[in-house]
Amino acid sequence: MAGPRTIPGTPESVLAALASVLSGSAGAFVPVPDDPALLDRVLAAARPDEPLERECAVVLPTSGSTGEPKAVLLTAQALRASAAATHARLGGPGQWLLAMPSYFIGGLQVLTRSLLAGTAPIVVDGNFSEAARWMTGDRRYTAIVPTQLRRLLATSVGALRSFDAVLVGAAAAPPGLLADARAAGVRVVTTYGMTETGGGCVYDGVPLDGVTAEVVDGRIVLGGRTLFSGYRLRPELTAQVLVDGRFLTQDCGRLEDGRLEVLGRLDDVVISGGVNVALPAVRDRVLAHPSVTDAAVLGLPDPEWGTRVVAYIVGPVALDDLRDFVAAELPRTWAPREVVVLEVLPMLASGKVDRQALLG
């Protein structure tokens, strides 16, 4: 079996390649970005020079937000199942606006849904509002990340209101941001999933049709037809996380009345001074500060505390002020012990915060 063919990661190229693999007229492909640094990481993970170990439609790297990306093997069946379940949940097929890179799962699935709906996707080329004006479908959808939502609420709220659903995923959206969007009349739908699940597979806490969600010992376990079939040339890693047709995620959560609440990554709970600190909760509280427009919270090794909680923020806030603000809602022992003020948070092309860049 030959290796996957590489194609440019442009919307036009990915759309054409998807059409060929979904119809069965061509073999698997790897969409590659034009960024040289990112390209090297993609090729190292996807190994197009090596024969494919199993049938698949797309070899797609993960975002690599917490380390080196892995290459995920997705079948045509998984892509179709994800697109069909999405349209069923949203109320039917429609036209999609592509506002994310098409070489990551979020953008690629926008194109997959467009193909299966028989509609022409509109690609954002710099101006979201201008692109939205070209939409002609009876039902209109888009998918964005929380950072995009925050910026578009300030610049393009009218365009956002024109969509029947605005999917928000790739990273956890702060509750305050979602509340602001809904108050502005934007029909936001939060999505949870990853490349391994064919993109978002839990919408507003409820699994899509055909998707199962469990919490085992605090860990989120997902199943269903949208799942990947393995990591490219990494059978040991595949065997660790793909067990009996279920995917053992690296996220912790809880289920209540059939609704899944994602609490963060398993490694997002750190021990600082002997106290367990939930970093996502600290981040949400930091983002609620009126002078903070964006934030990330990480745990760094510390000789005194074991792990030091550090807030990377966009906005002029002093450490003592931020600690008092966090401690007003959360245990004071959770409050950041260091604040790093940035002009902008470093972001990956997938829309996630680049943790490795923050760590230096």
pTM score: 0.83
Question: In the listed set 228, 262, 296, which residue is the last one of a domain according to the structure?
Answer: 262
Do 244 and 285 belong to one domain? no
The pair of three-digit structure tokens given for residue 220, joined into one six-digit string: 């989120």
Query: To the nearest whole number, what is the mean pLDDT of the chain?
Result: 93
Do 187 and 309 belong to one domain? no
Do 68 and 188 belong to one domain? yes
Q: What is the CA radius of gyration of the chain?
A: 20
Q: What is the 3-state secondary structure (H, E, C) of 52-74?
A: CCCCCCEEEECCCCCCCCCEEEE
Q: Is residue 267 part of a domain?
A: no
Do 294 and 159 belong to one domain? no
The pair of three-digit structure tokens given for residue 249, joined into one six-digit string: 């995620």
Res. 8: pLDDT tops 60: yes
Mean pLDDT of 315-343: 94
Instruction: Of 52-56, 108-112, 119-123, 188-192, give the lowest mean pLDDT range.
Output: 52-56
**Number of separate domains in the chain:** 2
Mean pLDDT of 134-145: 96
Residue range 273-322, pLDDT digits in tens: 888 888 988 998 999 999 999 999 999 998 888 899 999 999 999 999 99
Tell me, what CATH number does 341's domain have?
Answer: 3.30.300.30
Do 224 and 152 belong to one domain? yes
Q: Is residue 323 part of a domain?
A: yes
Beta-carbon neighbour count of residue 251 at 10 Å? 22
Do 132 and 222 belong to one domain? yes
Do 245 and 317 belong to one domain? no
Res. 64: pLDDT tops 70: no
Do 133 and 255 belong to one domain? yes
Nearest by Cα to 211 from 203, 219, 267: 203
Q: Is residue 268 part of a domain?
A: no
